[in-house]
Structure 1
């Protein structure tokens, strides 16, 4: 069976990539996002897809029915459910478009399948309760997940909330649970090492500047044989802590020795910085981050997309591998 898909909050097309990766039959009939920079990147990679730069609240139920859509894939704004977003939940105006989709769902009797992604924390929100209540009201059976790419053989941490839903009129072999599932039964093996995604001859513009090396004590450092990396956020390169890992070609032993030497000096001092420079720490390139988020090798950014824009867009995107596996479950016959 072939499906017609509406991709809401389409961003740079992570859901589109996941659909292609899943091997399922169907077509992204339309993608919608209000971010013009993200849309340029989306159009660069998917030039044949109907892409609308508009507020989702401008979409009418009639529009969605006219496109003969049976599936919605979406990743609504996560800021209302994060610490930095002050946990404003349904009081945050950035939830308005998703609340609108929830509101009109009972009019969308053409929709049989839904996959929604959001940040960890969404599961305890008021908006989540409204969403789940609406799914029940509209005769959907659903399953909630909290999953990390590291459980799928990907060396990256990006714990996220997912919800899959399909009409009860459709037989679903998947055995749902009332509780949130945190691990899929399939064994995806251990994460691969970073050496498979590391680029050679990386430009020196990716080297950490001295002002960042001053905060070497909070950096998460990865090397070629690492099988892990931290979650990359849209603030990557802007803040030193909690926004993503940095990379060195040096061995773990060399990293340890440099830290021991640096720690003989006061953190942030000139001597400390000079010791840290020996590691030649650099940021992961956008291409490397794309690989860690399981985007296909063929995916690329337009040449006019700035480095800052690349990182911001990636920080707001999704892990393709996790979603492709959930799509296989959602459409299981």
Structure 2
């Protein structure tokens, strides 16, 4: 496979391709974010990386690259539940519209994998995408999946499109958009360290009803004070924090605002038990009219943000992944929040590439 990685970010698709084991070469990666490009170049120094606006690329240029596969994770802001949901009218959707206009002219293109936020599946842009696939002679599958369905203790519900030329067969049938992979399909995939770890010491994740490994497997020995929740956060947001312990089998989706905003951006960690957390919060609740006293009590829990390394472990980046020294923690969280779950996408690449009609 000769692969073009669009919206390449920090290289999640590239790592997923490596994890899949499929024989492939990323002939070019394209992104316009300078910080993301610094991280990508740091980890993939031998890959051609273009710092460009995707709308500046034409079909002739892509034809010269002779790619047969496009991997992409376009901006999700036009479709996210927290955004304005301007959909195809959002300026950030223009680059995807441009790509759709190029696809009819890419004669060697065989495979397409697209990832986006939950909500994309009900958008006008999704309809344009599907129209492009059908009119250009591609068969496709649509899925909405989360890492916790694969034994990973993190919820990150995402839309995926797998498409291939009509003359290439899919290994599984699908009547419509599906919210999970069948157990038979999951069993057909190679065992991974994630599934092995989940079977070895996992617990039921209540959101997915699947067994996931616990968070003690992703924790690092980190300087406690560096990531502690500030007192002002505790004062204003202590009651809406999603608190997890080392024995938790799940965590919330980490977004680009993690570490800067406390609510709705991801889980936080506590080194004590769920029972200790419950008792401390109960004690703090007895001082409703004294916020300073509440903060004093809750500070004993040593609540902290998950470190960037812990977040990228939950997103299944390999241990040799690294950030350049000049990238700040806030930039790391932002870049990770815009990235993909490497393991989930690696499994989908295998399904896209497989043509054995046995499921």
- TM-score normalised over the length of structure 2: 0.90
CA contact (8 A) 2:117 2:158 kept: yes
Distance 2:268 2:232 in 1: 15
Deviations 1:38-91 (A, max 9, x none): 000001111110000000111111111111100000000000001332100011
Q: Which residue of 2 aligns with 1:264?
A: 286
Distance 1:181 1:175 in 2: 14
Cα 1:127–1:201, aligned 2, differ >3 Å: closer, same or farther?
A: closer
Q: Which residue of 2 aligns with 1:65?
A: 63
Q: Which residue of 1 aligns with 2:351?
A: 329
Deviations 1:105-124 (A, max 9, x none): 10012110000000000000
Secondary structure, in 3 states, of the residue corresponding to 2:78?
A: helix
Distance 2:221 2:287 in 1: 32
Deviation at 1:308, TM superposition (A): 0.7
Deviation at 1:319, TM superposition (A): 0.4
Secondary structure, in 3 states, of the residue corresponding to 1:175?
A: coil
CA contact (8 A) 1:31 1:52 kept: yes
Gaps of 5+ in 1: none
Cα 1:53–1:184, aligned 2, differ >3 Å: closer, same or farther?
A: farther
Secondary structure, in 3 states, of the residue corresponding to 1:199?
A: coil
Distance 1:267 1:136 in 2: 62
Secondary structure, in 3 states, of the residue corresponding to 1:110?
A: coil
Correspondent of 2:149 among 144, 151, 156: 151
CA contact (8 A) 1:234 1:314 kept: yes
Deviation at 1:9, TM superposition (A): 0.3
Count of residues paired in the alignment: 331
Secondary structure, in 3 states, of the residue corresponding to 1:299?
A: coil
Distance 1:286 1:184 in 2: 32
Q: Which residue of 2 aligns with 1:88?
A: 86
Q: Which residue of 1 aligns with 2:204?
A: none
CA contact (8 A) 1:192 1:227 kept: yes
Correspondent of 2:35 among 17, 32, 37: 37
Deviation at 1:181, TM superposition (A): 4.1
Distance 2:254 2:290 in 1: 24
Q: Which residue of 1 aligns with 2:206?
A: none
Gaps of 5+ in 2: 188-194, 199-210
Structure 2 residue 191 is the aligned partner of structure 1 residue 169: no
Q: Which residue of 2 aligns with 1:248?
A: 270
Q: Which residue of 1 aligns with 2:124?
A: 126
CA contact (8 A) 1:213 1:268 kept: no
Distance 2:293 2:179 in 1: 49
* Range 259-268 or range 3-12, more displaced: 259-268
Q: Which residue of 2 aligns with 1:211?
A: 232
Distance 1:184 1:298 in 2: 32
CA contact (8 A) 1:14 1:318 kept: yes
Structure 2 residue 318 is the aligned partner of structure 1 residue 296: yes
Correspondent of 1:224 among 246, 253, 271: 246
Distance 1:315 1:184 in 2: 28
Distance 2:107 2:7 in 1: 21
Distance 1:199 1:274 in 2: 26
CA contact (8 A) 1:142 1:176 kept: no
Q: Which residue of 2 aligns with 1:18?
A: 16
Deviation at 1:311, TM superposition (A): 0.5
CA contact (8 A) 2:268 2:306 kept: yes
Correspondent of 2:217 among 182, 192, 196: 196
Deviation at 1:176, TM superposition (A): 2.9
Deviation at 1:169, TM superposition (A): 1.3
Deviations 1:125-176 (A, max 9, x none): 1110000001000100000000010000100000000000000112333223
Distance 1:281 1:83 in 2: 27
Distance 2:333 2:312 in 1: 10
Distance 1:53 1:276 in 2: 46
Consecutive aligned runs of 4 or more in structure 1 exceeding 6 Å deviation: none
Deviation at 1:267, TM superposition (A): 7.3
